[in-house]
Chains A and B, each alone.
Chain A
């Protein structure tokens, strides 16, 4: 087995050079296509501006994410969920309770984290709220919160590995589930699947965003923490049959 340290090219130098030429060709084609784009862009800025009144929020990116193209966001939260499910599936566990904990940190780091983590929760909530008016929203808020969870865990705290299995799975699915509830409600009333009434659009978006923030945070933290070795790593049954 070769050392993983060095760059190992499976392909020999002449072939590699030819492949380089092919990739350069692809790049040239793409650039040629770019240059042929019309100068006058017919983007969707105007269209989204016209419908901002109906969206219930004041920031165009949030309006697109949670209202005009809510489908995309819904399925995207679904993709996150599937990534976690895939990871847990082939690790043969349903929660992170058996993850090995990091050793307790020195007092200075501990103090820093006690200071930083509440700030991160605060910033996350602020970003979530600000999404209605300006830059911010569920994704940024979720990632900040998730990074806070990872930080907490790196400092030897249980973080999300302290959640019980049921709570962990609930938090993972609550974002996807809230979209599903809205869709189900709309189907019952035989409306378009993700159509919010204009009067309540802002509130519904905030609730969905809050749920999505929690799901994104737990998912991001689980994807990073879940890669760590478990306690009793050697006792676990290997995945392949003997």
Chain B
């Protein structure tokens, strides 16, 4: 009996020890319950001069992020002077009524600051991140830059030169070449086309043009000034008022953002980049933004299609078929419309097979019912990963500035989780079918000696240079 007991004991002990080692290690664990979480509160007010101000709070942040977002960008540059919006914004920090360029640089460093200027097609952003005790110094400096720029002539040359080298440098990057060529088609005839300016127009920009542009557009009613960090709206209002109340508003200078429309025929383009070992593809079109409520379903669709390494595009092209190095898609929101863009990098030999697979995936998105499980997974991903993007204070503040500038506080920011969570599968499928039934244009960048199969597959391919000049059109079977 005792012997039996001993054996039972030994077996039980072995089993328990084996199981405790193996059972929980063998498979990935379940997540913990999700805690209820809301986006940080975004508060706003409008000063008497028309300047919208906002605060997005984060307790104990050692930095404050001050961001001035203006609702115009390169799309507002005159037709004959593309690049003027960028030159103006950059020149503003190169000297003010009180400070020289080096004074400005010194002042930024003295407050532990980081200063950035970004001009896109429809927005201009001045961003200053600094140590929390220096709010007055930061506002004083930013108000000097925005309200009293001196546009020194000597610095205009330096700004143009720096921009020239940036443009030339960007030409080495295949994905920028591809994206810009695609945008040239999509923005053709639209003011946003000016955002694709090249170095040729820079020398035409004079100090007088800069001053005129500044006077016309830099108005408080075109701007949103937001502070992110450990600060209340009351304090922020008082401080911003103190430094920005002399900014005079004039209702006449409203920038225009005509509606972008999807292009109705598929373009195929190629740019030769000798010695490039890989091929780069940009594919896309404008998606109609007639119904703002389509945006949330669209974000889910993008997640399903190509938003992450677990989306269809990456899983199919890279993981299953091993055709590409990377394959992603994204949605960009402009005031004039939404842009859908796919970017792929791959070995040149797999170009044709990859393009066919992308076409197949696009058809699948429009024609086949998206499984509910896939939709739910995409929604979870969007909801759960969003807070990770908000960790750096300047990123959170910039998101909030965009929401304020687009006047989306109530519908978009405050209802963000609900807007995703309550989306039903039918609504997502309906939006996919509605928006994605447009032909997608394709630009390929690579070494023409390595991309032979591409030229043999398609009827007509337009060949461009780095600046977007159409060189010639290749027809099927034609010798290069």
Q: Are A and B part of the same complex?
A: no
Residue numbers of A with Cβ under 8 A of B are none
